[in-house]
Structure 1
């Protein structure tokens, strides 16, 4: 987790965006901090965010519980959604694919709510991001389930 976590940065311009981000991202941050027992806060504008080293280590330890193939899927989810927090919420089934993509495109969604949708551009990008996020998440789940199934098969019957 780098210091550029998308859901931690709020912007006051255009007017109303900060309240929009806070209303939608704060519950996600709250879930994340409780789920992983970490500290993560938000900042306004381009102020640098200081993510505690303990938080980074905790998330690193969590990610290391996945096998190498599942980590590839997580990487693709993070690249599609531009956020470790949103990606882990999706992988942990806290949010749906549609919600995750909405959260990752929050500024764009805000602009669409003000100015309208450019169907050929906005819809194509949204659909592509949903497909990429869904595929990555499915891949993570399949790799993780295969690992659990193999582990169960290797245990002697009781």
Structure 2
């Protein structure tokens, strides 16, 4: 099978060992990526996520409900062949990290940012030996070169599958530090997502929200949590 199909044609999705890795078969037919590569993942846990997504489909396939399948496809078809470019794109977040740009006022928002973000900066300082610099306002200011190099090294260590998940952790939160803290298990993914939302939640309290903004926020949260689930499944047996 290749690409997405519109209607369900199988009864059972089964995890199977294949070529030293794991795949998912639909009534005995092995899944392939949209580019027709074998869909092989390194852990049974990831394959189980993918199989569960296919098992959960109704009569009509809904790709938006299959984040693990999409992540595996992206890792194989896209990220694996351009790992250096993806690494560069993600590492660049370190020089403009959300956590490093603080509000000048009001004091309640300043305090909320400190409470949510300072522990993450302390974690980064402990891990990398250099504390990220913080700035008031949104005008770009550079981070210490040693810090950026060390964080980039951690990103470079990730394989294509891990990097695919990590991309969403960073891009959805707007913070390389939050992404790195997530995979280091500094805090739970839901708590780290909440930390990334301090400014947005403050604005909602002041001005209210709307359905479109809520829909977008819910989608970003789901993508962040799905990425964390995929990443940690890669670390399982």
Q: TM-score range by the shorter chain?
A: 0.7 to 0.9
Instruction: State the distance in 2 between where 1:144 and 1:104 align.
Output: 24
8 Å CA contact retained: 1:102, 1:109: no
Superposition TM-score, scaled by structure 1 size? 0.78
Tell me how far 1:122 sits from its aligned partner: 5.1
Structure label with greater radius of gyration: 2
More helix by proportion, 1 or 2? Answer: 1
**Structure with more contact order per residue of length (Cα contacts < 8 Å, sep ≥ 6):** 1
What stretches of structure 2 of length at least 5 have no aligned partner? 1-90
Give the match for residue 82 of structure 1. 174
1:22 and 2:141 are equivalent in the alignment: no
Q: CA deviation at 1:26?
A: 0.7
TM-score scaled to structure 2, two decimals? Answer: 0.54
Decide which of 181, 186, 203 is 1:94's aligned counterpart. 186
Provide the aligned C-alpha RMSD in A: 2.2
Question: Does the 8 Å CA contact 1:10/1:44 hold for their aligned counterparts?
Answer: yes
Aligned mates of 1:129, 1:30 — CA distance in 2: 26
**Counterpart pick for 1:10 among 102, 111, 118:** 102
C-alpha separation in 1, matches of 2:186 and 2:215 = 25
- Asked if the contact 2:190–2:225 (Cα under 8 Å) also holds between the matched residues in 1, the reply is no
Which consecutive residues of structure 1, in runs of 5 or more, have no partner in the other structure? 150-158
Give how far 1:7 is off. 0.2
Contact 2:121 2:131 in 1 (8 A): no
Looking at secondary structure, tell me which structure has more strand per residue. 2
Query: Could you say which residue in structure 1 is the equivalent of 2:165?
Result: 73
**Structure 2 matches for 1:1-158, cutoff 5 A?**
1-2=91-92, 3-116=95-208, 118=209, 120-121=211-212, 123-145=214-236
